[in-house]
Amino acid sequence: MYSTLLTRVLIFLCIFSALCLSSDHEIHPLDSLTASELTQVQTIVNNSICSTSCQSLSFHYVGLHEPDKPIVLSWLSDKDSTKVPPRQAFVLARINFKNHELIVDLNASAIISNKVHDGHGYPLLNFAEQTAANRLPLTYAPFIASIKKRGLKLEEVICQSFTIGWFGEQKTKRIVREMCYYLDGTINLYMRPIEGITLTVDLDEMKIIGYRDRLIVPVPKAEGTDYREVKQKQPVSSPIKPITMLQPHGPSFNIEGHVVSWADWKFHLDFDMRVGPILSLASIYDLEKDEYRSVMYRGFISELFVPYMDLTEEWYYRTYFDSGEYGFGLCAAPLLPSSDCPENAVFLDGYSMSQDGTPIKLPNIICIFERYAGDILWQHTEGAIPGKVFTEVRPEVSLIVRMVSAEGNYDYIVDWEFRQTGTIKVNIGLTGLLEVRAAAYTYKDQIGEEVYGTLLAENTLGSYHDHFLNFHLDLDVDNPANSFVKTKLQTTAVMDKRSPRRSYWTVVSETAKTESDARINLGSGAAELLVVNPNKKTEMGNYVGYRLLPGSVVNTLLSDDDYPEVRAGFTKYNVWVTPYNKSEKWAGGTYADQSRGDDNLAVWSLRNREIENKDIVIWYTLGFHHVPYQEDFPVMPTINNGFDLRPTNFFEHNPVLKVKQLAKVKWLKCCKECRHNLTADIDPLA
């Protein structure tokens, strides 16, 4: 008992001493807006606009209006003599039922720009209007009659708001469709859809403007759908003994304000209500050069496109932009210690805004922790020297920055992993609940020619669908001026007698001159994708660079003229390269809801601008084609995809050659009782 208590105290003191965050840290130009700044934005907008002609005002996005890149870099190079750039906010608001883009200067306490967006599309939905829309069916007489006709209990019905896409309409309203689900014996509402009913809600007027009860389909049964541990019946899986990650001397990383330092890495961590975590100014310390060298100016998930392949009346429009319509950051889930993140993790909060502009604290939405899972950083055993054997091995320890976005039924696990080798590894995990369609089928052979999904359980079709995540990666490899190089591995025949071999492969490289040269569908020949600094070489004469190493390659299967594909034009290629432009940050466009594909990455790239030896941005789209299987029911095991950004002739030699072995933790060997207790489930902050 005493040793367990001692362990808890030691862990708490170590973490507390290493990570006490100062509230008066130096302000950074890329820091996300604080709660007080968000309140200031609310006050300025209300006083400036609603004091005169404001019939209606709703906030839909508020984020940092980031300073121009040269200003930030200038401030970083000389903080002592350079003032912090003015703090400004970028606001998307609906004012008198029109889309407004506001720039609010917090230093001047004034709106310095107010533009009305007359183009297509609408800003992302906020939670308040979704909640209001979701309540409307429950007091709507035709809907109540439909529920009664199906023999269901109205008090067990829950409705959700779904964006409707765009399918060639000349005029649009700001509307959503309400689809409803049935509880009554489970919390897994998504496995019990009430099929055949469609309600259309005008969000500006907040009323139902369309209703159709097309057909009655059996609601899937509740039995076997509840995923909670307490609801599982015997037999259950064989238990695994407790595993604990302990760092008795505290973590090796440090957080000052929003700047994280770990091993040789240093980067700025921000949170945005639309895109989630933003990692900026990532640089790595070069031991040989005795300096920090820049790798990435800014990286984040730019857009997330999820089209379903069901053509029925209640489903064809389900082609979601989860960042631009719902907010990837807005849907950030509070992370649970020792479950979502290990017990050695540190948790950070974020802020969003309500419909009226009031700041909302999002607790524990990002965690940071060091990972050691027994992996090997590098190893070699030398046995060729007579009478001797030499073995050198180093353990792989990395730093993880994690957020989970709960976008309705789906949960997206986002990991940015920093490795001592200089690699930045990004992993996306998909878990949560499938979006299923209720059907009359109870056995696969009954389906016939309908090919929209997999029969997972009685009356339950798991719909085919995609997930495409586009990443905005502004690499600055040893300064902003970079070039993009496509490298192919080419087979060459041996035609002469210089070797018994008949063939070999060699490397052929091409530097992209313009944007059109850099549009790439992976699997079409390009084997290596490099971002190099053409103005810097290693001592061996190679250009310093980083390369993009994709995971599983997935390309869109939709036709170019399909309306969802027009809107999500960024999925046409896996890789795009554009010159840096501060205004080009969301690949699906600023107004993704009911957008028409006229303001997105594909359109920007048509200008075919020069990208050689320029400040360039890489846009990488990773994807998942999801064919559901019975193992995905009632809750999905996590599936993963990702990519690496890996140094390529960036260092003069192996950067982890001089990494030391992990130090032995002597105090863990105090006694048998202590070692026994350390295998228990210990909360270091308890």
The catalytic residue positions are 322, 410
- Residue 122 is classified by DSSP as B
From the CB of residue 361, how many other CB atoms can be counted at a distance below 10 Å?
10
Q: Is residue 229 helix, strand or coil? A: helix
352 contacts: CB under 8 Å, gap ≥ 6: 62, 273, 327, 329, 330, 359, 360, 362
520 contacts: CB under 8 Å, gap ≥ 6: 486, 526, 529, 573, 574, 575
Exposure string over 85-101, b if 16+ CB within 10 A, otherwise e = bebbbbbbbbbeeebbb
Q: Facing residues of 197 across strands?
A: 213
Distance in angstroms (rounded) separating the CA atoms of residues 421 and 395: 12
Q: Please tell me whether the peptide bond between 334 and the residue prior to it is cis, using omega within 30 degrees of 0.
A: no
Sign for the CA dihedral angle at 247, 253, 257, 258 comes to negative
Distance in angstroms (rounded) separating the CA atoms of residues 20 and 254: 9
Distance in angstroms (rounded) separating the CA atoms of residues 122 and 321: 12
Q: Is residue 325 helix, strand or coil? A: helix
Residue 449 has which token pair? 């020619």
DSSP for 172-216, written as a single string: --SEEEEEEEE-SS-S-GGGSB-TTEEEEEETTTTEEEEEEE---
Please name which of 314, 417, 419, 346 lies closest in space to residue 376, comparing C-alpha atoms. 419
Beta strands in 276-421 (DSSP E): 276-286, 291-307, 319-321, 346-353, 359-371, 376-382, 390-395, 398-407, 410-419
From the CB of residue 49, how many other CB atoms can be counted at a distance below 10 Å?
18
